[in-house]
Structure 1
Amino acid sequence: MGSGHMPIGRRERAKQDKRERIMTAARELFGEHGVGSVTTQQVARRADVAIGTLYLYASTKAELLIMVQNQKFAAAIDSGLAAADAAAGQGALEPVIALIRPVVECVREHTENGRTYLHELLFGDPAEPYRQAGLALAGRLEDGVTSLLTRDEHVGAADAATLARVITAIIHISTTATVHLHRSNEAVLADIRDQIHATLAPHHRSA
């Protein structure tokens, strides 16, 4: 019996191949030079496609960056959720830190690219498909934090959702603020840990 999946046609395979070549070229060039020093023409040249073809997949350099960073962001969240599950039973703080550690490392892997990515998600057109996907990932991270906080007997479900928004704001500021750029990932994570601990402390004191 067949697998039930329709075979992919030659035209669709060609489109997927071009998209992957564009993604690979953009990822390499952004990693080598930073988004600010790369042009869409350079990406098209390395991907071996016409500039008009590239614009069929991403109409701006910002969209190219979001395409690339969305993949990395999704992988970081997957890794963080797995680490958080492994840290279960250690209260709320340690699993939350386990979840956000790969996210912090992802954003700070190349600080210019990470800062630009988050800026584009926040201030770009939310109806643009790649931004929609990125915002959905941000929502997935927030939901993950919410779920971990609800395991804390001192934090109610409504408070958990609010606290998760506060914590994601802490992550955003701590990973993108210019004053923190010189700091190591471990130093940034330690600072984030302190802020989250202080945020959760009133709930524990009132219990």
Structure 2
Amino acid sequence: MAGLRERQKADRNRRILEAASTLFGQMGYEAARIDAIANDAEVSVGTLYNYFENKADLLLAIVSMEVEEVLGQGAAVVADPPSTVADALGKLIQTYYDHSLVYLTKEMWRAAMAMTIQQPEAPFSRRYRELDAALAAQVCDLIRTLQTRGDVRADLDASALGEIAFNDLNSLFTEFTLDEGQSLPQLRARLDAHLGAFTRLISREG
């Protein structure tokens, strides 16, 4: 019976998040209403508030769902990276980029980023930074894997390299969210140019 209750709770949570993701995307984060989200999720407003305190809490949960899924996909890349440094880093980062608009729009990403800047000590901001740190750590893990395989220079600090790569991919992604006209293929092309220069510096043969 306890297992059934947990499954029902997880199902309601997922329905609420999917409804919020859809309405935020269709109407915009600011315009979407809690009662409309509850209606689309087929729960009462009271039930929704049992799961999430406000719209910001919902947005953070959607961001968390997004990052947790890409971390799972990224783990497979770290475990068995492609044969070149550029391809390995490119595959991992493109995994992040390609999934970035599954649950969130550019407007939703901007709203999340704005909250972290406006309220840096709020729980939302702390959790957002934790998610960023998890992604950065995965990039560092990939660098270490490539060093172990002999593809990246062993004399370089893997953590520093991973943080440099993550900060660059994050900067490119931020610019992508600010430019409604920029497409994912254009973002990938910019990434490829940056990775070409970066990997020439860190590769063992470089």
Q: Same fold by TM (over 0.5)?
A: yes
Cα distance 1:131–1:40, how it changes in 2: closer, same or farther (>3 A)?
farther
Please list, as runs of the form range in 1=range in 2, the aligned pairs for 1:122-201 lying within 5 A after superposition. Answer: 124=119, 128=123, 132=127, 134-150=128-144, 151-152=146-147, 153=150, 154-156=152-154, 159-177=157-175, 180-201=179-200
- Alpha-carbon distance in 1 for matches of 2:120, 2:45: 23
Q: Higher relative contact order at CA 8 Å, sep ≥6: structure 1 or structure 2?
A: 2
**For structure 2, which runs of at least 5 residues remain unmatched after alignment?**
none
Counterpart amino acid of 2:89?
A: V
Which of 107, 128, 136 is the matching residue for 2:100?
107
Which of 30, 50, 73 is the matching residue for 1:56?
50
- Alpha-carbon distance in 2 for matches of 1:203, 1:10: 51
| 1:95 corresponding residue in structure 2 | 88
After superposition, the C-alpha distances for 1:50-75 in whole angstroms (9 at most, x for unaligned) are: 33332222112121012123222222
- Alpha-carbon distance in 2 for matches of 1:119, 1:82: 31
* CA contact 1:76–1:103 (8 Å) conserved in 2: yes
RMSD: 3.3
- Alpha-carbon distance in 2 for matches of 1:138, 1:176: 13
* CA contact 1:19–1:57 (8 Å) conserved in 2: yes
- Alpha-carbon distance in 2 for matches of 1:206, 1:63: 47
TM-score, with length taken from structure 1: 0.75
Runs of 4+ in 1 over 6 A off after TM superposition: none
Cα distance 1:168–1:64, how it changes in 2: closer, same or farther (>3 A)?
same
Shift of 1:188: 0.8
* CA contact 2:16–2:48 (8 Å) conserved in 1: yes
- Alpha-carbon distance in 2 for matches of 1:48, 1:74: 25
Shift of 1:193: 2.4
TM-score, with length taken from structure 2: 0.75
| 1:3 corresponding residue in structure 2 | none
Shift of 1:99: 0.6
- Alpha-carbon distance in 1 for matches of 2:182, 2:61: 27
Cα distance 1:157–1:144, how it changes in 2: closer, same or farther (>3 A)?
farther
Residue 167 of structure 1 aligns to a residue whose secondary structure is: helix
Please list, as runs of the form range in 1=range in 2, the aligned pairs for 1:59-98 lying within 5 A after superposition. Answer: 59-83=53-77, 85-90=79-84, 92-98=85-91
* CA contact 1:107–1:175 (8 Å) conserved in 2: no
**For structure 1, which runs of at least 5 residues remain unmatched after alignment?**
1-6
Cα distance 1:130–1:68, how it changes in 2: closer, same or farther (>3 A)?
farther
Identity among equivalent pairs (%):
24
* CA contact 1:106–1:114 (8 Å) conserved in 2: no
Aligned length: 199
Counterpart amino acid of 2:48?
A: L
